[in-house]
């Protein structure tokens, strides 16, 4: 299953043989950069992209603020429990 599968020798293309050319007469090849696709945005697409970005920022901001609020409420609750336990232990120690 995991062994490589090689093509049969008769299906491989035959190499093309050319006559050797002196190095002085060979012009340098011109390499052109591949053309990149050009993205053109219409005004409607720009408005849609801006609205989508704004929505993403607002949603992420709301999630982060709610997480911060949850951490703050938990911290206040733990602090109140610590104060109550301290008062109870102090009261038990005095009696």
pTM of the prediction?
0.48
- Contacts of 58 by beta carbon, 8 Å cutoff, 6+ apart: none
pLDDT at res. 38: 77
Q: What is the pLDDT of residues 19-76, one digit of tens each?
A: 666 666 667 777 777 777 877 889 899 999 999 999 999 999 999 999 999 999 999 9
pLDDT at res. 41: 82
- Measured CA to CA, the distance from residue 42 to residue 50 in angstroms comes to 12
């Amino acid at each position: 299953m995991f062994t490589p599968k090689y093509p049969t020798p008769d299906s491989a293309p035959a190499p093309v043989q050319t006559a050797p050319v002196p190095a002085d007469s060979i012009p340098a090849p011109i390499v052109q950069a591949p053309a990149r696709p050009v993205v053109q945005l219409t005004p409607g697409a720009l408005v849609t992209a801006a609205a989508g970005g704004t929505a993403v920022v607002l949603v992420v901001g709301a999630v982060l603020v709610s997480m911060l609020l949850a951490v703050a409420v938990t911290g206040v609750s733990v602090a109140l429990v610590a104060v109550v336990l301290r008062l109870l232990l102090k009261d038990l120690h005095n009696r």
